[in-house]
Amino acid sequence: MDHFTYKNDILHAEDVALTTIAQAVGTPVYVYSHATLTRHYRVFRDAFKALNPLICFAVKANSNQAVLATLAREGAGADVVSKGELMRALRAGIPAEKIVFSGVGKTADEMEYALKAGIKQFNVESEPELEVLSAVATRMEQTAPVSIRVNPDVDAKTHAKISTGKAENKFGISWTRVDEIYAKIAALPGLVATGVDVHIGSQLTDLAPFREAFIRVVDLVKHLRANGHDIRHIDLGGGLGIPYVAEEKAPPLPAEYGQMVIDVLGDLDCELIFEPGRLIAGNAGVLLTEVIYRKEGEGKTFYIVDAAMNDLARPAMYDAHHDFFPVKRDTDAEMDVADFVGPICESGDTFAKGRKTPRLQGGDLMIMKSCGAYGAVMSSTYNTRPLVAEVMVKGDQYAVIRPRQSLEELISLDCLPHWEIVS
């Protein structure tokens, strides 16, 4: 459920008309609903209420300070994958003891920063990383809490670019080598093994791969404990999918996922950690865009909109589907079947093909739904298009939470080499 609904045939974010935002801030612009964001967080939290887990929002899904501050106020922790994301999470008020650090390529500098901050745990993905972390922690006279990200070798049955739990993926350490690795942690100075971590992919629409992976994790934890390791946390990652297409069967609800987790892990006496990203933010945001032209091609109609693949990369990158809706609803409108494309000079700059839509014209506003996760965070300035603006709505108020970059700011990031500067 979200808070983007028509009122008097005008699409609103909560109580604010999207026409108002377009007029004040311009387009393209991401618009987030504060109520949807907090609702999703609470629904997920309540799915496991009995287990009182730590919910670490995956910052890579949406790292805007306003989004993180909203979730911090709800009690969320953070899952970060870089020093920059860690800085963002801390600055937004998420306490270090609720932050976990994931990612396959943490550098010594990033580890040092995280140790200084006092984060909850490092999710370690390789032996060389373990050795560097041991060296950094020893030098700082600290002990780094470590969970090994195990690769359970299950097929998440999702898009290849967001599948991470198969043996051939770059993520984690094979579950068959876990004994050796935990023995190594015990032997290295400056490290303490406190948990086990798993994350098998993103946009999963079936509980079976999760269940398969979690059963494997339970066996591992029992085995590690029998070997004397004090395993206190299990980090189950993120990955639960969200509905992107209104007419399709929706993925499992958080409550169903929660029940499965309780069935599989309920009596293990371990603190559970989750790292949901998309589930919290995905349907809490839309991308508001204006039609520039309606172009009739050879037997084909195109809507050229002012948002492009630099603002929203998901369709080009993952063949992702986003539903389109006009901001002004006209139930009597003639229908069109059209491709929705951006202005960038790439065929990949296509948001939708052969989509049915009420007929629109240049100047009309539309939204793409489900853009709150992996949207603005992936934006770029390709084609010298300024970084996209972001707005948050709360009730009848709205606030710009990232102003649109000016062209002056964008271009002045470049500098000429000294030999080009004539004095």
Ligand X SMILES: *Cc1c(COP(=O)(O)O)cnc(C)c1O
Residues flagged as binding site for pyridoxal 5'-phosphate = 239, 275-278, 374
Give me 330's structure tokens. 């006209």
Shortest distance (Å) from residue 411 CB to ligand X: 33
Query: Rounded to an integer, what distance in angstroms lies between the CA atom of residue 84 and that of residue 113?
Result: 10
> What is the smallest separation between the CB atom of 282 and ligand X, expressed in angstroms?
8
Rank residues 239 and 342 by Cβ distance to ligand X and give the closer one: 239
User: Residues near 283 by Cβ (< 8 Å), separated by ≥ 6?
Assistant: 2, 36, 40, 242, 243, 369, 370, 372
Find out whether 127 and 178 touch, Cβ atoms under 8 Å.
Answer: no
End-to-end CA distance of the chain: 62
- Rounded distance between C-alpha atoms, residue 377 and residue 354, angstroms: 28
Q: Cα 245–250–256 angle (5° rounding)?
A: 155
Q: How far is it, in rounded angstroms, from Cα 219 to Cα 51? A: 19
By CB under 6 A, name the binding residues for ligand X.
58, 60-61, 79, 102, 199, 202, 237-239, 275-279, 373
Query: CA-to-CA distance for 381 and 368, rounded, in angstroms?
Result: 20
| Residue (53 or 326) nearer to ligand X, CB | 53
> Distance between CA 85 and CA 63 in Å, rounded?
7
* Residue 197 near residue 147 (C-beta atoms within 8 A): yes
The distance of closest approach from Cβ of residue 241 to ligand X in the complex, given in angstroms and rounded to an integer, is 8
In the bound state with ligand X, the residue whose beta carbon lies nearer, of 101 and 398, is 101
Catalytic residues: 345
| Shortest Cβ 124–ligand X spacing (Å) | 12
Q: How far is the CB of 235 from ligand X (least distance, A)?
A: 8
Residue ranges at the known binding site for substrate: 278, 314, 318, 346, 374
289 or 370: CB nearest ligand X: 370
**From edge to edge, which strands make up the β-sheet containing 16-17?**
4-7, 10-13, 16-17
Annotated binding residues, written as ranges, equal 239, 275-278, 314, 318, 346, 374
When the beta carbons of 57 and 340 are compared against ligand X, the nearer one is: 57
**How does DSSP classify residue 76?**
-
